């Protein structure tokens, strides 16, 4: 009996030592909840680094996933972004130890006067996201009456927050906190939600404002005016429905935060690292959004531009061109395609050139093979028209756009589309291909007038292809390009075809070797299209019917 009692006592003591003491030690060693947003961010960063570096905490597969998410979440990979935010949410819940309270969320939701406009905006954004999907900003513009605004201020945000105060419960509050921690550590800071919003066409930051080269903080303090001027890290713009909008309520807070975003956002497929040797880099994100970053000494500060990618479906040309008389423009454009004319779509960045080109592909003979050459994939025609014979090429490494254009000569090319003529060698190659390498060639480029377009192409042939006679080069250009379709986006965000200009070669021994005739032009005062050359339009229609 004594032996049995002793055995039970020893067993109980053993259980106590094995189970209770380690748990007690664990409780004793557990860190208290963080006391500030800064401490919370550092704790999250430390834990994620620990998961990556300590193989005992996670399986090899999970560690690999975490490393990939940290690396690619900010590069346009939405799934990795959401995965990383989920891990951060779990860590925050564990660290705060208060799953349903508000006091440990580090954001004073119950005291709006203490919240920054940035936090107000992000909380409203997350509350609205449940109903708007990924087009949240468009929903906010509609709900809060921001239509037509070129500047959205802190006052606009506070007014909107007052109207929406009380919306959203604990889950939305927690998601706002998670979003803020994520964007500070791994995302795009105050621009993260904008860059991932599908209703926004582009985002830029660091453009404008005082730079670190001439910003005088002491002078600002002495002035007593907190809004005396913006710093470069206070400047954020977005392009929404064709309009550039200053988001004056957003700020990175300091230059280091903006610099971190600039140094990360371009890394997905860049061939170089941003440095004093390579101070300007063009790249794409994983979702094919285009990115340009710059830094000193070439730039007066750190800046980035993101031009968003659209791939859901090609725009119907009838919804793209909507002003009075648009049916005449559509008829001319579709006739150009059906009669296999080579032409250029010109205009400034954001003018709608690429969107128009995508819509015109629908009118190319479905039996024709289409070859697409771009500096980086943007047209995405093989996904937009999956049943068509489309092969897309982009430059990479030592394989240039010129090499890609040359390769299309061996690809049974009926129609060549060049995403953008952005250098003389590409311009010259386009002229050569349109003369002999395909039935039809179409490209986009940046020129304000048809005369300048022709001069650029002529000079490209002379510079890059050894043509010494300007007259010979110019004749090749005007024999190759039949029309210039000039797209415009005005300050109100309206897209329209400003003019369609016909390039008519002349049989002459000396200049001029061509004549320019506007077939149709846009009247901005009356907001309508006006026909200029009825005979040319009728001749094109007859050619289309005869074909």
What are the tens digits of pLDDT across the range 424-456? Answer: 888 888 888 887 767 899 999 989 999 999 999
| C-alpha separations of 111 from 121, 126, 280, 287 in Å | 15, 18, 43, 38
Query: Considering the domain boundaries, does residue 46 fall inside one?
Result: no
Same domain, 377 and 515: yes
Query: Considering the domain boundaries, does residue 252 fall inside one?
Result: yes
Over range 262-267, report the average pLDDT.
95
* pLDDT classification of 398: cutoffs 50, 70, 90: confident
pTM of the model: 0.71
Same domain, 259 and 321: no
Same domain, 16 and 122: no
Token pair, residue 475, equals 């004749």
Q: Which of 282, 307, 332 is the last residue of a domain?
A: 307
Query: Considering the domain boundaries, does residue 81 fall inside one?
Result: no
Q: Which of 250, 279, 307 is the last residue of a domain?
A: 307
The pLDDT of residue 20: 46
**Residues 497 and 487 sit within 8 Å (Cβ to Cβ):** yes
Asked if pLDDT for residue 358 goes beyond 70, the answer is yes
For residue 514, the enclosing domain spans 317-546
The pLDDT of residue 104: 55
Query: Considering the domain boundaries, does residue 169 fall inside one?
Result: yes
Q: What mean pLDDT value characterizes the chain?
A: 84
Least confident of 89-103, 195-209, 222-236: 222-236
Query: Considering the domain boundaries, does residue 234 fall inside one?
Result: yes
The pLDDT of residue 312: 47
Query: Considering the domain boundaries, does residue 42 fall inside one?
Result: no
Query: Considering the domain boundaries, does residue 509 fall inside one?
Result: yes
Token pair, residue 517, equals 């005739």
Which range among 27-36, 72-81, 531-540 has the greatest average pLDDT? Answer: 72-81
Q: Which of 248, 279, 307 is the last residue of a domain?
A: 307
Task: Read off the CATH number of the domain in which 161 is found.
Answer: 3.30.450.90
**Residues 473 and 480 sit within 8 Å (Cβ to Cβ):** no
How far apart are alpha carbons 469 and 244 in whole angstroms?
44
Same domain, 229 and 147: yes
Query: Considering the domain boundaries, does residue 1 fall inside one?
Result: yes
In 3D, which of 371, 383, 376, 391 has the Cα closest to residue 311? 383
The pLDDT of residue 546: 43
How far apart are alpha carbons 187 and 190 in whole angstroms?
9
Q: Could you count the other beta carbons within 10 Å of the beta carbon of residue 313?
A: 9
pLDDT in tens, 480-533: 999 999 999 876 667 899 999 999 999 878 888 899 999 999 998 899 999 987
Same domain, 444 and 401: yes
Same domain, 532 and 389: yes
Same domain, 471 and 536: yes
Same domain, 510 and 390: yes
How many domains is the chain built from? Answer: 3
Least confident of 113-117, 242-246, 499-503: 242-246
* pLDDT classification of 25: cutoffs 50, 70, 90: very low
Asked if pLDDT for residue 259 goes beyond 80, the answer is yes
The pLDDT of residue 505: 92
Same domain, 328 and 287: no
Same domain, 328 and 238: no
**Residues 532 and 521 sit within 8 Å (Cβ to Cβ):** yes
- Dihedral over Cα of 241, 245, 251, 252: its sign: positive
Same domain, 240 and 385: no
Same domain, 300 and 389: no
**Residues 377 and 391 sit within 8 Å (Cβ to Cβ):** no
């Amino acid at each position: 009996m004594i032996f049995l009692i002793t055995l039970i006592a020893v067993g109980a003591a053993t259980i106590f030592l094995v189970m209770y003491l380690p748990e007690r030690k664990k409780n004793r060693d557990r860190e208290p909840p963080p006391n500030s947003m800064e401490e919370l961010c550092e704790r999250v960063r430390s834990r994620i680094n620990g998961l990556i570096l300590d193989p005992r905490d996670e399986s090899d597969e999970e560690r690999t996933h975490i490393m990939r998410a940290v690396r690619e979440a900010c590069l346009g990979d939405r799934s990795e972004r959401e995965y990383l935010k989920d891990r951060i949410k779990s860590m925050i819940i564990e660290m705060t130890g208060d799953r349903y309270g508000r006091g440990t969320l580090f954001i004073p939701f119950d005291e709006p006067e203490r919240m920054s406009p940035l936090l107000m905006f992000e909380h409203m954004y997350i509350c609205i996201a449940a109903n708007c999907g990924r087009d949240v900003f468009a929903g906010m513009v509609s709900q809060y009456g921001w239509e037509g605004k070129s500047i959205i201020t802190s006052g606009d945000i506070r007014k909107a927050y007052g109207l929406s105060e009380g919306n959203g419960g604990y889950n939305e509050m927690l998601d706002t906190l998670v979003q803020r921690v994520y964007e500070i550590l791994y995302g795009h800071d105050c621009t993260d939600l904008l860059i991932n919003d599908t209703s926004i066409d582009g985002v830029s930051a660091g453009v404008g404002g005082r730079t670190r080269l001439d910003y005088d903080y002491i002078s600002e303090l002495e002035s007593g005016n907190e809004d005396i001027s913006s710093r470069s890290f206070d400047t954020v713009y977005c392009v929404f429905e064709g309009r550039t909008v200053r988001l004056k309520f957003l700020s990175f807070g300091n230059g280091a935060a903006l610099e971190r975003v600039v140094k990360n956002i371009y890394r997905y497929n860049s061939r170089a690292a941003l440095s004093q040797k390579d101070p300007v880099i063009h790249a794409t994100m994983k979702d094919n959004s285009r990115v340009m970053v710059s830094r000193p000494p070439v730039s007066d500060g750190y800046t980035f531009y993101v031009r968003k990618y659209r791939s859901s479906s090609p725009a119907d040309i009838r919804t793209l061109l909507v002003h009075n008389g648009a049916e005449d423009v559509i008829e001319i454009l579709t006739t150009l395609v059906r009669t296999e004319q080579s032409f250029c779509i010109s205009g400034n960045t954001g003018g709608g050139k690429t969107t128009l080109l995508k819509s015109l592909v629908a009118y190319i003979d479905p039996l024709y093979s289409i070859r697409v050459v771009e500096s980086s994939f943007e047209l995405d025609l093989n996904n937009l028209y999956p049943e068509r014979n489309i092969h897309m090429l982009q430059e990479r490494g030592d394989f240039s756009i010129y090499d890609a254009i040359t390769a299309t000569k061996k690809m049974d090319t009926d129609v060549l589309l060049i995403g953008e003529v952005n250098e003389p060698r590409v311009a010259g190659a386009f002229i050569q291909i349109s003369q002999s390498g395909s039935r039809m060639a179409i490209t986009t480029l940046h020129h304000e007038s048809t005369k300048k377009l022709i001069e650029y192409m002529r000079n490209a042939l002379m510079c890059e292809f050894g043509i010494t006679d300007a007259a010979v080069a110019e004749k090749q250009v005007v024999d190759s390009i039949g029309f210039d379709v000039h797209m415009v986006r005005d300050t109100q965000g309206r897209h329209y075809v400003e003019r369609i200009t016909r390039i008519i070669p002349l049989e002459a021994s000396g200049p001029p070797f061509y004549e320019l005739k506007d077939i149709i032009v846009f009247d901005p005062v009356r907001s309508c299209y006006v026909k200029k050359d009825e005979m040319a339009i009728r001749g094109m229609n007859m050619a289309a019917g005869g074909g």
